[in-house]
């Protein structure tokens, strides 16, 4: 019932990455986010055959003033499954104090604590709503190159090698949601909130960003179009000017949601056109116009 979009934070990082220089820390944060999203997509593929489950993906809720972020909620008759999806790679260990360590030996966030918090908040929310549904948490590792050492048993962990069997079990166990579960899903959908502000996105200003149109294939900037087509010399991608400009406007709105869309603005952002005619035509065709003279803009 709720499809997964590219998270806003990742959208911003992707756009910024081609228009400014990331330092090492920013680059590794970006890679981390990209990898997490990749893991969620492969989880979605895995979950496709589970037709008797209602899925709400990439869910943000506020429960008793706590923010609750979840990769995937699956609702079947009588049970609400919380899936926390991880795309970690390499040999991880749980040390004697119960801390999780990366292949390099660094302490990493314990995903079980995150899952536990999610479970608590979900239970609170269901109770607030007056619904009696069982909550079942699952920590799912999707990367076949992942291994975890020294794991106490009976933790709600699904390893990559167990994914198929786990799905078989789900298929047998889960029965079709009833009107009751559908109502729960609809109610949850109606109280979703925005992603929390992204504190780890690098600071950026309009003036500090490179202007131009970025190729969606290889993230290089286009050269001038030939007639009405851009030809990327980085990857041979070919794109109509209109499509490319509309895409760039979308990127602009993601980064600067409050700035007005004007011919001059889009002309400057796209950077590559010799005159404003093309921009004006595209704006007129695809947007509505509002206001007069200096304050006029498109929306």
Q: Which residues bind Zn ion (CB under 5 A)?
A: 215, 217-218, 232, 234-235, 237
* Residue 232 CB, nearest approach to Zn ion (Å): 3
* Closer residue to Zn ion in complex, CB, 195/233: 233
- Pick the closer one to Zn ion by CB: 144 or 234: 234
Helix, strand, coil % in the chain, rounded to nearest 5: 40, 20, 40
Residue 217 Cβ vs Zn ion, minimum distance, rounded to whole Å: 4
Q: How far is the CB of 235 from Zn ion (least distance, A)?
A: 3
* 9 or 251: CB nearest Zn ion: 251
Query: How far is residue 75's CA from residue 131's CA, in Å, rounded to a whole number?
Result: 13
Spell 188-201 as b/e; 16+ CB within 10 A means b. beeeeeeeeeeeeb
Q: Tell me the CA end-to-end span of the chain in Å, nearest whole number.
A: 29
Using a 10 angstrom Cβ sphere, with 0-12 exposed, 13-18 middle and 19 or more buried, the burial of residue 68 is: buried
Nearest to Zn ion of 237, 273 (CB atom): 237
Smallest distance, Å, CB 244 to Zn ion?
11
Residue 208 or 234: which CB sits closer to Zn ion? 234
Q: Do the Cβ atoms of 189 and 171 come closer than 8 Å?
A: no
CB of 28 to Zn ion, least distance (A): 24
């Amino acid at each position: 019932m709720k499809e997964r979009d590219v998270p806003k934070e990742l959208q911003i990082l992707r756009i910024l990455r081609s228009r400014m220089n990331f330092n090492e820390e920013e680059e590794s944060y970006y890679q981390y986010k990209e990898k997490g999203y990749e893991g969620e997509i492969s989880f979605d593929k895995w979950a496709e055959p589970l037709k008797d489950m209602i899925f709400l993906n990439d869910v943000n809720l506020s429960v008793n003033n706590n923010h609750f972020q979840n990769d995937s909620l699956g609702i079947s008759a009588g049970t609400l499954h919380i899936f926390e999806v991880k795309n970690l790679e390499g040999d991880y260990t749980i040390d004697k104090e119960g801390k999780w360590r990366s292949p390099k030996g660094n302490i990493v966030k314990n995903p079980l604590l995150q899952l536990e918090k999610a479970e608590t908040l979900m239970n609170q929310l269901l109770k607030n709503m007056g619904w009696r549904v069982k909550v079942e948490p699952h920590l799912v590792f999707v990367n076949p190159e992942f291994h975890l050492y020294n794991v106490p048993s009976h933790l709600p962990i699904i390893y990559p090698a167990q994914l198929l069997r786990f799905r078989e079990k789900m298929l047998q166990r889960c029965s079709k949601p009833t009107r009751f579960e559908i109502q729960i899903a609809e109610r949850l959908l109606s109280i979703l909130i925005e992603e929390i502000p992204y504190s780890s996105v690098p600071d950026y200003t309009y003036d500090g960003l490179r202007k131009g149109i970025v190729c969606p294939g290889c993230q290089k900037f286009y050269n001038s179009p030939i007639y009405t087509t851009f030809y990327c010399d980085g990857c041979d991608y070919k794109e109509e000017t209109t499509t490319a400009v509309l895409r760039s406007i979308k990127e602009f709105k993601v980064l600067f949601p409050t700035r007005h869309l004007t011919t001059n603005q889009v002309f400057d952002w796209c950077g590559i056109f010799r005159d404003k005619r093309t921009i004006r035509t595209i704006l007129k065709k695809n947007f509505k116009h509002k206001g007069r003279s200096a304050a006029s803009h498109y929306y």
